[in-house]
Amino acid sequence: MISGVYTLGELERSIASDPQKWRPMVFTNGCFDILHAGHVRYLQAAKALGRSLVVGLNSDVSVQTIKPQQPGLPPRPIVPEIQRAEVLAALKPVDGVVIFSEITATKLISILKPEIYVKGGDYQLESLPEAPAVIEIEVPSSTSAIVKRILQLGV
DSSP assignment string, 66-111: HS---TTS--S-SS-HHHHHHHHHHSTT--EEEEE-SSSSHHHHHH
What pLDDT is attached to residue 134?
A: 47
What pLDDT is attached to residue 122?
A: 53
Q: What DSSP designation does 112 have?
A: H
Q: Quick one: how far is CA 127 from the chain centroid?
A: 17
What pLDDT is attached to residue 1?
A: 83
What pLDDT is attached to residue 114?
A: 95
Burial group, residue 22, by CB count within 10 angstroms (0-12, 13-18, 19+): buried
Tell me how long the chain is: 155
Give me the residues paired with residue 30 across strands: 57
What pLDDT is attached to residue 119?
A: 84
pLDDT tens across the length of the chain (155 residues): 899 999 999 999 999 999 999 999 999 999 999 999 989 999 999 999 999 999 999 999 999 999 999 999 999 999 999 999 999 999 999 999 999 999 999 999 999 999 999 987 554 555 445 555 444 544 455 556 656 666 666 65
Give me the residues paired with residue 99 across strands: 57
Task: Supply angle C-alpha 144, 147, 152, rounded to 5.
Answer: 125
DSSP string spanning 57-75? Answer: EE-HHHHHHHS---TTS--
